[in-house]
Homo-oligomer: A and B are copies of this chain.
Amino acid sequence: MTALTASEEIVLEQPCPIRDVLDRIGDQWSLLILEALAPGTLRFNALMREIGDISKQMLSRTLKQLEQDGFITRTLYPEVPPRVEYTLTPLGHSFLEPMQQLVAWADTHHRTIVAARLRYQTAQTKP
**A60 CB to closest chain B CB, in angstroms?**
15
User: What mask results when residues 92 to 127 of chain A are scored 1 for a CB within 8 Å of chain B, else 0?
Assistant: 001101110111111101101111111011100000
| Copies of this chain in the oligomer | 2
Residue in contact with A99 in the complex, picked from B70, B102, B121, CB distance below 8 Å? B102
**A114 CB to closest chain B CB, in angstroms?**
6
Tell whether, in the assembled complex, residue B102 and residue A102 are in contact, meaning their CB atoms are under 8 Å apart: yes
Considering the chains assembled together, what is the distance between the CA atoms of A114 and B15 in angstroms?
A: 11
A50 interface hit (Cβ, 8 Å): no
Residue in contact with A105 in the complex, picked from B7, B94, B103, B110, CB distance below 8 Å? B94
Residue of B nearest to A27 (CB): B26
CB-CB < 8 A to A17: which residues of B? 106-107, 110
Considering the chains assembled together, what is the distance between the CA atoms of A57 and B10 in angstroms?
A: 27
14 contacts between A and B (CB under 8 A): A6-B121, A10-B117, A20-B114, A21-B105, A22-B26, A23-B28, A26-B26, A26-B31, A68-B116, A70-B117, A91-B113, A91-B116, A94-B105, A95-B105
